Chain A
Amino acid sequence: MNQLWQLYGFEIKKIMKNRLTIAMLIVTVLFLLIEAFTPKLYLTEEMRDEQKVLDGRIIDDALLREMAPKLVDNGTVWTDDNAPYERIAEIERGMLPENTDLADCSAEEMYREREEAIVAMMKRDQLTEGELQWWERERAKTRTPFLYRDCQGTVNLSQGMSLTLMCIMLISALCLSTVFTMEHRQRTDQLLISCRHGRGETYFIKTAAGLTVVTASCLIAAALLTILIAVLYGLDGLDAVVQLELPLSAYSFTMGRFILIQMLVMLTASVLFASFAMAMSEIIKNSLAVMGIMVGIFVFSQLELIPPQYRVLAQMKSMLPSNQISIWSLLEHRLVGTGGVYVTTYAASPVIYLLLSALLILAGKIAYDRFRVTGR
C-alpha cells in the first residue's frame, strides 16, 4: 500500500513537471482575473450604485407605472435620470414579445405573457405531456411578482464559470492527453509493464493522479473566481430568483442554488474531461489527436447545428458540459426520464458524466492491458 501511495505521488509529479501543465495553470489564473475584472471596465461605481437603488422592490404594477414615464425610446436610452430602471426594463422586455411597448404593459399582462412564452418554448422543444405537467408543478413554486434584487456579482460568477470550465477542458486536453502517450513516446512503457505493479495498479494510479490534478484545478479555479467576484462586486442576490437574469426560465431556483448546482456539475464535468483525455491517450496513443477531439467537441457544442425537432440529438448536445455550465442552461427544459418520473438535466448530467467517466476508464484499462511492446 505504502509503495502505491509513493507511485501516486510520482505520477502527480510527472504531470506537474510537464511545462504545459504549469503554462495552462498560469493561463487559467490570467483568464479568471480578466473575467473577473472585465465588468469593472464597463460598469462605473455610479452605475453600480444606480442598480442598487431599487434593490428589494417588487416588480409589480406600482414599479412599472413608476418606470413608464422615465422610459426613453421604449427603454433603450439610459441617462443619469432613469438609469436605476434599466434592469427592470430588461427583465420586462425579457418576458414580452419583441417590440412590445413597455410603458403600455401591466404587471399582470407581463407575467401572463411570460407563462405563454415558456409553454410555447417548451412545445417548440418537443416536451411531452408528462414533462409539461412536471414543469407546471415546478413553475407553481416560483412566486410572481418577482422581487428585484441587485445580483451583479452572482451573475458575473455564474458567467465566469463557463470560462472556468473551458480552462479545465484545456488543462485536461493539453496536460492529461500525454499521461499515457508520453510513456509510449519516451519508451518508458516497457519498463513500467515489466515491473511488479506495472500491469494492474499502475493504470489506476496514473488515472487517479490525472483526476486529482484536474479536479483540484477545478476546485481551486472555482474558489479563486468566487473570491475575486465577492471582493470586486459582492455576492448580493444569492437569494434572487434566476428569472431576474433569464425571465423565461421555468426553474424555481435562486441564484445561489443555481451557482451551487453549476459548481457540482462542473466538478463532475472535470472528472469526465480528465477520464476522456487519459483513456483516449491510451486507446489512440496520440496526444495531438486527443486534443483535437476534445477541442472539436467543445467547438461543436457552441454551434447551433441541431434543430429542436431532433429532440434526442438536441438534448444530447445540450447536455454537453459546455452547454450545461452556462447561464443559458436555465432555458433547457427537456427532462430526462419517462413514465412520469423525470429529473432535470442538472440532476442527470453529473450522474451521466460519472458513468461515462467510469466506462472510459474501463476502456482505457482494456487498451492498457492489451498493449504489448512491438515493432520498434
Chain B
Amino acid sequence: MKLTVDRLSKQYKNKIAVDRVSFTLSEGVTGLLGANGAGKTTLMRMMTGILDPTGGEISADGVPVHTEQYRAILGYLPQDFGYYPEFTAREFVRYIAALKGLDKKHAKRKTEELLELVGLSDVADKKIKTFSGGMKQRVGIAQAIVNDPRILILDEPTAGLDPKERVRFRNLIAEIGKDTIVLFSTHIVSDIDSIAKSLLMMRDGQIIYDGAWSKEQGDLEQFYMEEFA
C-alpha cells in the first residue's frame, strides 16, 4: 500500500502551518520529527481526515482521505488523547471497535487480546479516570490498533510513558510496522531511531528531510539538535 501526500497545505489566516508538503509512505515505521509548532500535528490531523487541508491531496492507493473506505483502514492516536472517564478500559476499546465497524464477536476477542498486549487485562474493568497517565496512553494505543489498521498515525504516543513502557511500546510498534504504514511523530529521537525505516523532519510547516537515516550520515540526535535547537 502507498499513502500519498501531494502538495498538502494548511493556512490559518496569515499563518501557514503546513506548506506544500509531498511525500509517499509505504509499510514500515516512519518517524516524524520536528520541534513544537513545526506543523506535525496539523499534518497528522489532515492525514486522518479530521482537518481539511487548504490545498493538496491525501490518498491511500487512490482512496481519498475523506472517505469511509480510508477511515476503515485507519488507526489514530491523537496527541491529546481524550477518553470517557466513566468508561472502563474494556468498554472504551469495545466502543471504539464498534465505531470502527468490528462485529461484536470480533470486537470482544480483539479487545481482550489488546488489553493483554498493553498490559491492562488485570484492570480492564476499572474506570479510565482512575488510571495513571501511562495507563491511559496504553488504552489509547489499544484503541488505535483495534481494527488492525493498514495506516497507523501516532501523534506523540510515548508522552506520559515511563522508560520501561517506552521500550515495550517501541517493540510493539516495530512489530505492527512490518505490514502497516506507521507514521510516528515525536520530538524525542530515541523513540524512533531504532525502529524507523525512514524519517520525515519538519520545520515551519515544511519537510526538510525525507528518507532513511544511515549511520554514515552521523548521529541523528546530534543532527536533530543542530537543526531544531
Contact = CB atoms under 8 A, between A and B. Distances in A.
Interface of A: 2-4, 6-7, 10, 13-14, 17-18, 183, 186-200, 202, 372-376
Contact of A191 (B49, B51, B143, B147): B143
A189 B81 CA distance: 10
B86 A17 contact: yes
Given A10-B91, A194-B76, A198-B71, A3 B104 contact: yes
* Among A4, A187, A194, A202: residue with most chain B CB under 10 A: A194
B84 A186 contact: yes
Given A6-B107, A199-B68, A200-B68, A194 B49 contact: yes
A197 B99 contact: yes
Given A188-B83, A193-B49, A195-B101, 7 more contacts: A10-B94, A190-B78, A191-B76, A194-B74, A197-B68, A197-B99, A373-B45
Contact of B51 (A18, A188, A192, A374): A374
A2 B96 CA distance: 14
A262 to B, nearest CB: 36
Given A194-B76, A196-B72, A373 B100 contact: no
Query: Would you list the 3 A-B pairs with minimal beta carbon distance, nearest first?
Result: A187-B82, A195-B99, A188-B82
Contacts of B52: 372
Nearest to B10: A374
* Among A3, A4, A183, A192: residue with most chain B CB under 10 A: A3
A20 B68 CA distance: 34
Interface string B69-113: 001101010101111111100010011111111111001000000
Contacts of A189: 82
A192 B94 CA distance: 13
Contacts of A192: 99
Given A191-B78, A200-B68, A373 B104 contact: no
Contacts of A18: 86
A186 B81 CA distance: 9
Contact of A190 (B72, B82, B87, B103): B82
B1 interface: no
Contact of B100 (A17, A195, A199, A376): A195
* Among A2, A13, A186, A195: residue with most chain B CB under 10 A: A195
Interface residues of B, number: 36
Contacts of B137: none
Nearest to A6: B98
B48 interface: yes
A183 B96 CA distance: 13
B63 to A, nearest CB: 13
B48 A197 contact: no
A191 B104 contact: no
A285 to B, nearest CB: 15
A320 to B, nearest CB: 34
A187 B80 contact: yes
Nearest to A2: B103
13 contacts: A2-B103, A2-B104, A4-B98, A14-B86, A17-B86, A190-B50, A190-B82, A193-B50, A195-B101, A198-B99, A373-B45, A373-B51, A374-B12
B50 A194 contact: yes
Contacts of A188: 82-84
B103 to A, nearest CB: 5
Interface in B1-46: 12, 45
Nearest to A182: B84
A10 B45 contact: no
A180 to B, nearest CB: 13
B68 A194 contact: no
B101 A186 contact: no
A366 B91 CA distance: 29
A196 B83 contact: no
A191 B71 contact: no
B81 to A, nearest CB: 8
Nearest to A1: B103
Nearest to A10: B95
